[in-house]
Amino acid sequence: MPKTSSKTYDYPQDLRGAETDLQRTRAEYQALCAELPWSVDPAPGWESDKQIQSDYKVSMPDSPGYTDKQKQHEDELRDRLVELSTAVTVHPYWATLAAEDVVDARMTLKKSVREALA
């Protein structure tokens, strides 16, 4: 069972907002990626050889590739994820904490935002 923090933290609103945006953007990015073809560029399907000690084979259908709109949306979301991840990671708030509290504070922030979004 994961350890539950007994400490409380007073997160600045901009940090909490950045974490909220980060989690929302990550969810949107994951949903988009789940819908995209397996290859960015058009590619023929394929099937792997049978695995040595099983009959398992991996296969992929033909991929039409991403549309220009899909490429643009994926690029925008990925760039936004980098921007938000950086904003959260380098936020000055972390420097106000004792070194031994930073990981706990980060995990507590992630969990509290995740629960608020649920």
Say whether pLDDT at 15 is over 70. yes
Q: Where are the beta strands (DSSP E) in 18-112?
A: 46-47, 59-60
Quick one: tokens of 100? Answer: 């031994």
Q: How confident is the model at residue 2 (pLDDT cuts 50, 70, 90)?
A: low
- Distance of alpha carbon 74 from alpha carbon 98, whole angstroms: 37
pLDDT digits (tens, 9 = 90+) for 92-113: 999 999 999 999 999 999 999 9
Say whether pLDDT at 1 is over 50. no
pLDDT digits (tens, 9 = 90+) for 29-79: 999 999 999 999 999 999 988 877 888 888 999 999 999 999 999 999 999
pTM of this structure: 0.85
First to last CA, the chain: 21
What pLDDT does residue 52 have? Answer: 79
